[in-house]
């Protein structure tokens, strides 16, 4: 990292942090570490906001993982998928630095719902691999990952899981101390890029306000094979929010803006001829209202409601010319009530509805303008008997899709779940989940008919597609002790009428570029997904020299079609480890993750070689008065491995970034 590169950091940003630091030096030094940046709580203590009963993670029989605290800080990345990819069972799609959507247990696209504070992000990232989710992971307080069709409470489409980003833009309680905030600047060597973050929350016992902003600017990144052309990324995001809060509950509003400009490295143009590559400009305005009442029907009851409106557009530029414009206008509402019944039963139920209009205008308008109206009714019930717990859940939806110039299609997905847990002893807990979930086909699966230039294919939908159904059985075990923690899960998921896109072997002539594109057809077949995932942490030492932990994790998924053959684009199995040390002021870690060769291939797929990614982190934290400071350096792909993401349509042309170092400063006030 050269001094010349560092000089690109603006004088304005450095002067802001210099002023903050001088303020901190003038305050009285605090003896204790900054309580707003404690290490992540144990999983048992974290409240999962995506649960309608607002349980702690340890109370849930269903599979859940939460990233928060310093673990989230160390994993924050430009994309949501990359941020949470250290969680077993979670990998990320790839279409260059600008796009990374979560893949849960081999499932992606419309089967994985991405939520912002419990409501859908309402972007078009499910329509194409080159479309980025409209969400900023650097602003998250915590990220919740719920796996499997047991996430039916958030829509019938969430057959693979839910990723809920909790950002606190609508404060739900008074701010401790009346004022808090954080800021960060970081610089990375691989793209000569920087990310700047600012957030503040303030208020009294009755009124709170929130403001945040992120700016990210990355050039084309370096790879082991040279510069990855047209992989630049430029992001701006910000929000304002305010709430009335009290013992009675809360009600608040927020307004946010998300802008993302990024290149498509699969179509870089020819810089030697002055040709500009294909790039995308994404814009989203979002307005949310959220509220809740505490104990409206007695102790243990609650009422929560939320309404969101989204205006989304992104434009794909071919050089300086506008190629295709994607627009989506959406409204969504949700209300849920929880209460305690007789005999120790707990109940929650609610209604959810959404209306959206999606259209693509221009050369790549391979999906017609479509209006979608969806309404859902859901409920859950829980009963505890000492060391036993049982949960029931059910949901029914009505989904109507009306394409311009085509027939209206109606679907009625029905989903239910049964789960239980048994605390065998002080240390052991066993869980079992049986789920049935259905989803309606998405717009692109039904109505696509045209060249999809981003994936360099001609895509054909099928209006005759049936509902997709999944029956999953999962068995899990968890062990906790002072010296060792571990959890494992095995699952078997049988799909009826699984929807996927397959290479037909046919070709379509693209006269504009004088080349042939493969024809890909959306089709259905019964399929079986089976997999295993787990992690274990040994607490090696905790003494005057610091705390030492060793973590190992791994996951694998195998997906086959009933008529023979494999489901295409399934992520490879992997195994990883990390050694971590932490003292009063310092923390450091180093680890490696092995992604195995993927040669269990779908029709007309090619294999992907295995690779090992090595990373390291080091940070120094200190407090001055009411301000906490943290200096950090992160390293990734330290051995400069050539890494190709098997799930990417661009894997033959685009590799992951090479050896990289990021350095920066965080401040908590």
Domain assignment present for residue 131? The answer is: no
Burial class (CB in 10 A: 0-12, 13-18, 19+), 481: exposed
Q: What percent of the chain has pLDDT over 70?
A: 89
Confidence of residue 83 (pLDDT cuts 50, 70, 90): very high
Q: What is the mean pLDDT of residues 347-372?
A: 88
Q: Is 70 exceeded by the pLDDT of residue 13?
A: no
- Helices and strands: H and E segment counts in the chain: 5, 34
For the entire predicted model, the pTM comes to: 0.89
Q: Is 90 exceeded by the pLDDT of residue 527?
A: yes
In which element (H, E) is residue 70 found? helix 69-75
Q: What are phi and psi of 58, to 5 degrees?
A: -70, -15
Containing structural domain, residue 659 = 3-38+180-668
661-135-67-204 Cα dihedral, nearest 10 degrees? 110
Q: What is the mean pLDDT of residues 657-666?
A: 96
How many residues appear in the chain? 669
Three-state SS letters, 413-470:
CEEEEEEEEECCCCCEEEEEEEEEEEECCCHHHHHCEEEEHHHCEEEECCCCCCCEEE
DSSP 72: H
What 3-state class would DSSP assign to 579?
A: strand
What 3-state class would DSSP assign to 69?
A: helix
pLDDT at residue number 12: 40
What 3-state class would DSSP assign to 175?
A: coil
* Sole residue written with tokens 């039963």: 345
Confidence of residue 510 (pLDDT cuts 50, 70, 90): confident
DSSP 137: G
Least confident of 310-324, 383-397, 442-456, 553-567: 442-456
Q: Is 50 exceeded by the pLDDT of residue 409?
A: yes
Q: How far apart are CA 83 and CA 73, in angstroms?
A: 9
Number of Cβ within 10 Å of residue 612's Cβ equals 16
Q: Is 60 exceeded by the pLDDT of residue 11?
A: no
Least confident of 199-203, 270-274, 656-660: 270-274
Q: What are phi and psi of 512, to 5 degrees?
A: -60, -35
* Cβ density class 188-209: b for 16+ within 10 Å, e for less: bbbbbbbbbbbbbbbbeeeebe
8 Å CB contact between 488 and 553? no
Q: How far apart are CA 559 and CA 57, in angstroms?
A: 29
Domain assignment present for residue 87? The answer is: no
Q: Comparing 328 with 51, which gets the higher pLDDT?
A: 328
Total number of domains in the chain? 1
Domain assignment present for residue 139? The answer is: no
Least confident of 44-48, 227-231, 465-469: 44-48
Max mean pLDDT range (98-102, 115-119, 356-360, 528-532): 528-532
Q: Comparing 102 with 12, which gets the higher pLDDT?
A: 102
Domain assignment present for residue 128? The answer is: no
Question: Which of 313, 435, 404 lies closest to 63, judged by CA?
Answer: 435
Please count the CA atoms within 13 angstroms of the CA of 446 that sit on its side-chain side.
Answer: 28
Domain assignment present for residue 415? The answer is: yes
pLDDT at residue number 24: 37
Q: How far apart are CA 362 and CA 457, in angstroms?
A: 16
Tokens representing residue 95 in the block: 């279409």
pLDDT at residue number 586: 96
Question: Which of 490, 489, 476, 492 lies closest to 428, judged by CA?
Answer: 476
Q: Comparing 187 with 277, which gets the higher pLDDT?
A: 187
* Sole residue written with tokens 């605290």: 69
Q: What are phi and psi of 575, to 5 degrees?
A: -145, 140
Distances (CA, A) of 43 to 59, 83, 554, 586, 636: 10, 18, 19, 23, 26
Q: What are phi and psi of 19, to 5 degrees?
A: -65, -40
- Report the DSSP beta bridge partners of residue 636: 660
pLDDT at residue number 384: 87
Domain assignment present for residue 225? The answer is: yes
Q: How far apart are CA 20 and CA 16, in angstroms?
A: 6
8 Å CB contact between 132 and 116? no
Least confident of 24-33, 329-338, 347-356, 513-522: 24-33
- Report the DSSP beta bridge partners of residue 533: 489, 555
Q: How far apart are CA 376 and CA 200, in angstroms?
A: 36
Confidence of residue 28 (pLDDT cuts 50, 70, 90): very low
Q: What is the CATH number of the domain that holds 248?
A: 2.40.170.20
pLDDT at residue number 30: 36
Q: How far apart are CA 331 and CA 120, in angstroms?
A: 10
8 Å CB contact between 433 and 63? yes
Domain assignment present for residue 257? The answer is: yes
Domain assignment present for residue 154? The answer is: no
What 3-state class would DSSP assign to 636?
A: strand
The beta strand positions in 341-369, using DSSP E, are: 346-362
What's the CA angle centered on 86, arms 104 and 109, to 5 degrees?
A: 25
Question: Which of 566, 462, 456 lies closest to 518, judged by CA?
Answer: 456
8 Å CB contact between 429 and 423? yes
8 Å CB contact between 584 and 573? no
Question: Which of 58, 59, 129 lies closest to 94, judged by CA?
Answer: 129
Tokens representing residue 126 in the block: 């499910």
DSSP 573: P
Tokens representing residue 439 in the block: 């989803």
Q: What is the DSSP string of 184-213?
A: EEEEETTTTEEEEEEEEEEE-SSEEEEEEE
8 Å CB contact between 396 and 377? yes
Q: What are phi and psi of 308, to 5 degrees?
A: -135, 140
8 Å CB contact between 442 and 455? no
Confidence of residue 46 (pLDDT cuts 50, 70, 90): low
What's the CA angle centered on 318, arms 316 and 320, to 5 degrees?
A: 100
The 10s digit of each residue's pLDDT in 146-175 is: 886 556 677 667 788 899 999 999 999 999
pLDDT at residue number 367: 82
In which element (H, E) is residue 337 found? strand 321-340
pLDDT at residue number 14: 40
């Amino acid at each position: 990292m050269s001094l010349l590169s560092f000089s690109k950091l603006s004088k304005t940003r450095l002067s802001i942090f210099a002023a903050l630091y001088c303020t901190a030096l003038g305050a009285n030094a605090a003896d204790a570490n900054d309580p707003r940046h404690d290490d992540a709580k144990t999983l048992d203590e974290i409240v999962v906001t995506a649960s309608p009963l607002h349980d702690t993670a340890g109370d849930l029989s269903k599979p859940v993982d939460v990233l928060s605290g310093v673990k989230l800080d160390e994993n924050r990345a430009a994309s949501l998928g990359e941020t949470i990819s250290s969680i077993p069972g979670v990998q990320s799609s790839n279409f260059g630095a600008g796009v990374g959507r979560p893949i849960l247990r081999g499932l992606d696209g419309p089967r994985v719902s991405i939520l912002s504070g419990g409501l859908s992000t309402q972007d078009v990232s499910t329509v194409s691999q080159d479309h980025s989710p409209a969400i900023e992971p650097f602003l998250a307080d915590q990220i919740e990952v719920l796996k499997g069709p047991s996430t039916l409470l958030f829509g019938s489409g969430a057959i693979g899981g839910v990723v809920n980003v909790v950002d606190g833009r609508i404060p739900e309680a008074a701010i401790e101390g009346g004022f808090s905030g954080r800021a960060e600047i970081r610089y990375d060597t691989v793209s000569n890029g920087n990310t700047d973050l600012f957030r503040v929350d303030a208020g009294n016992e009755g009124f709170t306000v929130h403001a945040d902003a992120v700016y990210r600017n990355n050039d084309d990144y370096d790879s082991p094979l040279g510069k990855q052309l047209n992989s630049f990324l430029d992001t701006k995001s910000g929000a304002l929010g305010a709430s009335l809060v009290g013992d009675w509950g809360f009600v608040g509003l927020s307004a946010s803006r998300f802008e993302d400009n990024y290149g498509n490295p699969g179509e870089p143009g020819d810089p030697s001829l002055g040709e500009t590559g294909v790039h995308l400009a994404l814009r989203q305005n979002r307005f949310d209202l959220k509220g809740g009442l505490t104990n409206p029907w007695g102790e243990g009851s609650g009422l929560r409601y939320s309404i969101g409106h989204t205006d989304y557009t992104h434009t794909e530029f071919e050089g300086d010319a506008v190629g295709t414009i994607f627009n989506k206008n959406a409204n969504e509402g949700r209300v849920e009530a929880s209460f305690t019944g007789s005999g120790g039963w707990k109940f929650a139920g609610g209604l959810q509805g959404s209306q959206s209009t999606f259209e693509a205008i221009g050369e790549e308008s391979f999906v017609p303008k479509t209006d979608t109206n969806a309404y859902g009714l859901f409920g859950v019930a829980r009963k505890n008997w000492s060391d036993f717990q049982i949960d029931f859940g059910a949901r029914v939806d009505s989904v109507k899709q009306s394409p311009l110039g085509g027939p209206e299609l109606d679907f009625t997905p029905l989903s239910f779940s049964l789960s239980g847990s048994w605390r065998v002893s002080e240390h052991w807990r066993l869980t079992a989940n049986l789920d049935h979930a259905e989803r309606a086909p998405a717009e692109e699966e039904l109505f696509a008919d045209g060249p999809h230039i981003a994936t360099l294919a001609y895509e054909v939908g099928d209006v005759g597609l049936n509902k997709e159904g999944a029956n999953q059985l999962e068995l899990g075990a968890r062990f906790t002790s002072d010296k060792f923690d571990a959890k494992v899960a095995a699952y078997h998921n049988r799909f009826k009428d699984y929807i996927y896109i397959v290479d037909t072997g046919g070709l379509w002539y693209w006269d504009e570029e004088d080349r042939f594109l493969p024809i890909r057809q959306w089709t259905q077949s019964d399929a079986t997904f089976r997999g295993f995932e787990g992690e274990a942490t040994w607490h090696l030492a905790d003494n005057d020299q610091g705390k030492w932990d060793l973590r190992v994790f791994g996951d694998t998924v195998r997906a086959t079609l009933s008529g023979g053959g494999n489901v295409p684009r399934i992520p490879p199995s992997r195994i990883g480890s990390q050694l971590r040390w932490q003292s009063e002021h310092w923390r450091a870690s180093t680890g490696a993750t092995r992604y195995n060769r993927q040669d269990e291939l779908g029709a007309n797929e090619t294999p992907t070689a295995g690779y090992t990614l090595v990373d390291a982190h080091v940070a120094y934290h200190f407090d001055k008065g009411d301000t906490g400071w943290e200096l950090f350096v992160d390293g990734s792909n330290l051995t400069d491995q050539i890494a190709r993401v098997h799930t990417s349509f661009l894997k033959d042309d685009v590799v992951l970034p090479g050896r990289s170092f990021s350095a920066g400063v965080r401040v908590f006030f």
